[in-house]
Amino acid sequence: MKPPYSISSKILTLISSISEKIGEINASFLGKPSPQLRKRNKIKTIHSSLAIEGNSLNEEQITAIIENKRVLGKRKDIIEVNNAIQVYDNLGMFNPYSKRSFLKAHKILMNKLVNSPGKFRTEEVGIFNENQITHLAPPAKNVPSLMDDLFEYIKLSDEPVLIKSSVFHYEMEFIHPFIDGNGTMGRLWQTVILMDSYPVFEYLPFETLIAQTQNEYYQALEISDKEGNSTLFIEYMLEVLLKSVNDLILSENRRITADERLEYFLSLTEKVFTRRDYMNVFKNISPATASRDLKKGVEKKLFERIGDKNSTKYIIKS
């Protein structure tokens, strides 16, 4: 059963813009930010996602924990960070369409923090704001079937993954399947879903932008609850994702090396190719740069050159 939402003109515009920017990322630096930026973004992601839930540790302290240095802080906060580091260091091991994988992530994330990590709640819960209930979650007995339906939706729906990931995020928060850790899991699993189609999202700390617009985040959730559909929340999340890809482009404006170009090209290419084929992938390089790249590839024995001048071709070695 498809969750309730409608695809507005704003959603279509945002999806088009995000897709265009992801194409720009792939064409300019192949979606592989520098190691320093990847580490910095992971720290930002962990800090922001946990800070939204009340964790008091700052980015410097999280960096120290990653580097195995001693940190003074609340025991619970340090456990939360260590658990999150373990999860975000291993994002690629989670299957976005598997409920079992989803529960495994929660088990790691909430280890030593709740009595039954990795298991759905068995009691009723509500969300309060200043002693006033803002959301009454569905009965605990309905949680397993509701989550089954949600995973079935993201697995079978032909909607763009940018929409499905946002719908999952909202619906999971609505169902509130765990006693604790729901917010962090919602943001984490949206990343896991996006990564399956767009690997660059592993390096995009969109949780930082959510933390910076926390009031709008909760307002989008609350209004979507009242309206009975997630359209507004989808629009909010797509705006966040668009800003995150724009920020990555601005922060990672670097020259691509010949080795990076060669690695990327060989991942796309069949057995035989020409310099023109190479330049059709990297449209911004000169013929001289292309020739230097290909000469380097021959020297590294990635492929061999046959023919001369206009008849030159390159054969990839098995």
Give the pLDDT confidence of 160-173 residue by residue, as tens digits. Answer: 999 999 999 999 99
Whether residue 151 is predicted with pLDDT greater than 70 in this model: the reply is yes
pLDDT of 155 over the 60 cut? yes
Which pLDDT score is estimated for 138? 94
Mean pLDDT across the chain, nearest whole number? 91
Instruction: Answer for the pair 216, 240: CB distance below 8 angstroms, yes or no.
Output: no
Confidence of residue 317 (pLDDT cuts 50, 70, 90): confident
Q: What letter does residue 34 receive in the DSSP assignment?
A: -
Give the pLDDT band (50/70/90) at residue 29.
low
CA angle 185, 189, 194 (to 5 degrees): 155
Q: Point out which residues pair with 292 in neighbouring strands.
A: none
Residue 97 C-beta-side C-alpha neighbours within 13 Å? 10
Residues 150-164 have a mean pLDDT of 97
Give the pTM: 0.80
Measured distance CA(9)–CA(12) in Å, rounded: 5
What is the structure's pLDDT at 252?
60
Asked if the domains 9-251 and 258-316 are classified in one and the same CATH topology, the answer is no
Q: How far is CA 1 from the centre of its chain?
A: 25
Cα–Cα distance, 248 to 261 (Å, whole number): 19
Determine the pLDDT at residue 175: 97
Lowest mean pLDDT among 29-43, 152-166, 172-186: 29-43
Mean pLDDT across 79-90:
96
- Bridge pairing between strands 313-316 and 132-136: unpaired
DSSP 140-185: GGGHHHHHHHHHHHHHH--S-HHHHHHHHHHHHHHH--SSS-HHHH
- pLDDT bin (cut points 50, 70, 90) of residue 284 is confident
User: 9-251 has which fold?
Assistant: Fic-like fold (1.10.3290)
Range of weakest confidence among 23-27, 64-68, 166-170, 232-236: 23-27
Q: Which two tokens stand for residue 143?
A: 């949680």
pLDDT above 90 coverage of the chain, percent:
73
pLDDT at 267 over 80: no
Determine what percent of the chain is predicted with pLDDT higher than 70.
95
CA distance to 53, 170, 199, 210, 286, per residue, from 217 (Å): 13, 11, 24, 6, 46
First-to-last alpha carbon distance for the chain, in angstroms, is: 47
CB distance 16 to 243 below 8 Å: no
Nearest alpha carbon to residue 15 among 191, 249, 241, 248: 241
Highest mean pLDDT among 18-32, 133-147, 155-169, 200-214: 155-169
Strand ranges (DSSP E) for the chain? 126-129, 132-136, 272-273, 303-306, 313-316
pLDDT of residue 28: 63
258-316 placed in CATH 3.90.180: no
For 4-8, 78-82, 135-139, 257-261, which range has the lowest pLDDT when averaged over its residues? 257-261
Task: Name the one residue in this structure whose structure tokens are 């803002």.
Answer: 134
C-beta of residue 44 within 8 angstroms of C-beta of residue 248: no
Residue 50 in this model has a pLDDT that exceeds 60: yes
Closest CA to 211 of 251, 239, 240: 240
| Domain ranges (residues) in the chain | 9-251, 258-316
Residue 203, pLDDT above cutoff 90: no
